[in-house]
């Protein structure tokens, strides 16, 4: 089967439970799958090697810089960025094959994300969005944020695809809150570096506003009340960010 001239870039760290499905969702798209790993202690590397991925170690956890490093290893002109909790849908596979089989008018493509919480699809409350994940290597700009990095297009010549990336970011409550804790501490550290100060308003009102914005304003309730712990998790992340911020200012 003819493969596309596409490099798929996957970031990993201790993702033995996720990596196989991620690779299987793209293995018919390309003959270059690049895994950039941050010193995994589990079977992540063995799984990547099993599927003949090119593996590189990048010990630092700044996601923006890690993506930049992955981009530097890509051979082909087009790149597709994936995380290990993401899968390329069959519809998206076909679209990508079609776009890359001929000269593209665009330099980058927005891709819709189909987000899942505890195994169920969620569509509201901030979970309906598109991101640039497929683009020409020379057109890529990656912000160096350690948490909320962005992939941007230099040219601004951006199309939109219809097929989705299936995103399984919230798999269990323990995993979800562990992730939120990690994000909150990294965000607090960055805010401390920028000189931001905390306050009682930020500690107590920002979390309440976050829950209201996601569950009420952005109609998260339409997904069902089962998602309340998720939106409380986002509120919890705000709370942890601002209550720990003073400690990072002391020790920065």
- 149 and 36, same structural domain? yes
What percent of the chain stands above pLDDT 90? 90
Residues 108 and 159 in one domain: yes
Give counts: helices (H), strands (E), the chain: 8, 12
Q: Which residues are CB-neighbours of 217 under 8 A, at least 6 positions away?
A: none
Split into its structural domains, the chain has a count of 2
24, 140: one domain: yes
Q: Residue 72: enclosing H or E segment and its boundaries?
A: helix 63-72
- Whether the predicted pLDDT of 2 surpasses 70: no
DSSP single-letter state for residue 2: P
224 & 151 share domain: no
Of 139, 169, 199, which marks where a domain is finished? 169
Specify the pTM: 0.93
Collapsing DSSP states into helix, strand and coil, what is residue 116? Answer: strand
> Does residue 125 share a domain with residue 12?
yes
Range of the domain at 60: 4-169
SS3 category, 55: strand
The total of other beta-carbon atoms located within 10 Å of residue 23's CB is 22
179 and 70 within one domain = no
What is the predicted pLDDT for the residue at 250?
72
202 and 154 in a common domain: no
The pLDDT score that the predictor gives to residue 251 is 65
Q: Rounded mean pLDDT of 120-135?
A: 97
Do residues 116 and 47 share a domain?
A: yes
Q: Specify the DSSP class assigned to residue 81.
A: E
Q: How confident is the model at residue 66 (pLDDT cuts 50, 70, 90)?
A: very high
Contact between residue 231 and residue 214 where contact means Cβ atoms under 8 Å apart: yes
Q: Is 1's pLDDT higher than 70?
A: no
**Start-to-end CA span in the chain (Å):** 54
31-59: average pLDDT: 97
């Amino acid at each position: 089967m003819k493969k596309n001239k596409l490099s798929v870039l996957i970031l990993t760290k201790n993702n033995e439970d996720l990596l196989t499905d991620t690779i299987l969702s793209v293995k018919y798209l390309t003959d270059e799958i690049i895994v950039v790993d941050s010193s995994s202690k589990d079977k992540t590397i063995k799984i990547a090697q099993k599927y003949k991925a090119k593996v590189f170690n990048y010990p630092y956890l700044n996601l923006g810089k890690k993506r930049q490093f992955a981009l530097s290893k890509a051979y082909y002109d087009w790149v597709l960025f994936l995380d290990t909790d993401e899968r390329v849908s069959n519809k998206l596979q076909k679209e990508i094959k079609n776009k890359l089989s001929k000269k593209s008018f665009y330099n980058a493509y927005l891709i819709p994300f189909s987000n899942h919480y505890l195994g169920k699809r969620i569509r509201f409350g901030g979970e309906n969005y598109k991101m640039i994940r497929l683009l020409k290597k020379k057109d890529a700009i990656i912000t160096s944020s350690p948490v909320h990095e962005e992939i941007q297009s230099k040219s601004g010549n951006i199309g939109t695809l219809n097929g989705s990336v299936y995103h399984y970011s919230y798999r269990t409550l323990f995993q979800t809150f562990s992730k939120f804790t990690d994000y909150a501490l990294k965000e607090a550290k960055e805010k401390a570096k920028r000189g931001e100060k905390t306050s009682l308003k930020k500690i107590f009102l920002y979390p309440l506003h976050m829950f209201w914005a996601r569950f009420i304003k952005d109609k998260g309730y339409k997904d069902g009340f089962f998602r309340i712990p998720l939106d409380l998790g986002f509120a919890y992340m705000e709370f942890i960010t601002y209550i720990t911020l003073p400690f990072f200012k002391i020790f920065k």
